[in-house]
Amino acid sequence: MRTITPYDAIGEALAEEMRRDATVLAFGEGIATKRHDLVAEFGAARVRNTPLAEGIIAGTAAGAAATGLRPVVDLLFAPFLTFSMEEIVNSAGKLRFLSGGQFSFPMVAMAMTGAGWGVGAQHNHNVEAWFVHSPGLKVVMPSTASDFKGLMKSSIRDDNPVLFFLDVALLHTPGEVPDGDHLVPLGKAAIRRPGSDVTLVSYAKTVHGCVAAAETLAAEGISAEVVDLRSLKPWDEEAVLASVRKTGRLVVVHEASRTCGVGAEIAATVAEKAFDALRAPVVRLAGPDAPAASSWVLEQAFVPQADAIAEAARGAVARTLSLATA
């Protein structure tokens, strides 16, 4: 076990997979500049910079994947995925189906997202729900250095296109990473803190807010279970439902805008499949339906913080008690 940053964990994952499989290559916006160690080991043919042209990068990756390669592309900031929607959504995500399985598209598209750098609305826009809604794609958004590495390795080995979202606030936050061939399966959540009174479901940076909120709540006698989704598509429905059936209460937290966000899908699924277990209405805590500010103070206000998460959980417990005495 070592302590490294998610940024370095991604670098390790890329290096290990490129050593393991000669079909893995990496290209994109500044990746050879940022990952000069990879260029030194694998050469410019497998690690190269590209122009700032997201559509061309994604289209090249889809073509490479269709011919048997496993490209990992760096598209920098998530809002500019808009320039690559045709190539990712309409080609990579669908052509495996349209070809009757004759082609597969094992490609990983990395993009940074979220508050933390004060880069403004055109660079900070959490768009993961767009791709969750797109058939044929997988979507991951880790919260720990260990998961950044393990999910990246699993994504590279997957035969489907994977959107790999990097929360910028986490990239340089050190964490423990296991030695060896560390893999984290796509579609499996992690229980970050066990609890029995209320379930907090989240992903990326707001997982850490949920853990902090759970610690505050514990001092008040409220036991909160924290579920880190890690994968948004497929998401671990079984783990969430099991937790809700145990606690009877659910608070879903994410930084992305509330309307039609990932939290809405989770809330709907719980209402459909575990309604009889609910002891209080589901609560969604999310970012506002507004562009992100570049001001640090306003940017942080955009993100659900630990105090707001704790208050939402208290409200769920209090609502239960009031219903019980009504």
Active-site residue identified among 16, 29, 123, 182? 123
The token duo for 68 is 């048997």
* Chain segment 37-73, per-residue pLDDT in tens: 999 999 999 999 999 999 999 999 999 999 999 999 9
Measured over the CA atoms of residue 281, residue 282, residue 286 and residue 288, the dihedral's sign is: negative
Report the SS3 class of residue 71: strand
Whether 190-325 and 2-177 are alike in CATH topology: the answer is: yes
- Element (H or E) spanning 165, and its range? strand 162-167
Mean pLDDT of the chain: 94
Active-site residue identified among 54, 128, 255, 299? 54
Asked if 133 is an active-site residue, the reply is: no
* Chain segment 67-115, per-residue pLDDT in tens: 999 999 999 999 999 999 999 999 999 998 989 988 899 999 999 999 8
* Chain segment 238-247, per-residue pLDDT in tens: 999 999 999 9
**Mean of the pLDDT values across residues 260-280?**
96
Instruction: Determine how many CB atoms are found less than 10 A away from the CB of residue 97.
Output: 11
Tokens 């011919």 sit on residue: 67
- Residue 213 CA, distance from chain mean position: 20
- Best CATH choice for the domain 2-177 from the list 3.40.50.300, 3.40.190.10, 3.40.50.970, 3.30.950.10: 3.40.50.970
Q: What is the pLDDT of residue 321?
A: 56
Q: CA of 104: how far to CAs of 24, 249, 313, in Å? A: 15, 41, 43
- Give Dmax over CA atoms of the chain in angstroms: 70
| Residue 131: closest CA among 66, 99, 87, 190 | 87
Return the CA Rg of the chain.
20
Asked if 123 is an active-site residue, the reply is: yes
* Chain segment 4-20, per-residue pLDDT in tens: 999 999 999 999 999 99
Q: Which amino acid type is present at position 214?
A: A
- Domain boundaries along the sequence of the chain: 2-177, 190-325
Architecture category of domain 190-325 in CATH: 3-Layer(aba) Sandwich (3.40)
Neighbouring C-alpha atoms within 13 Å toward the C-beta of 133? 11
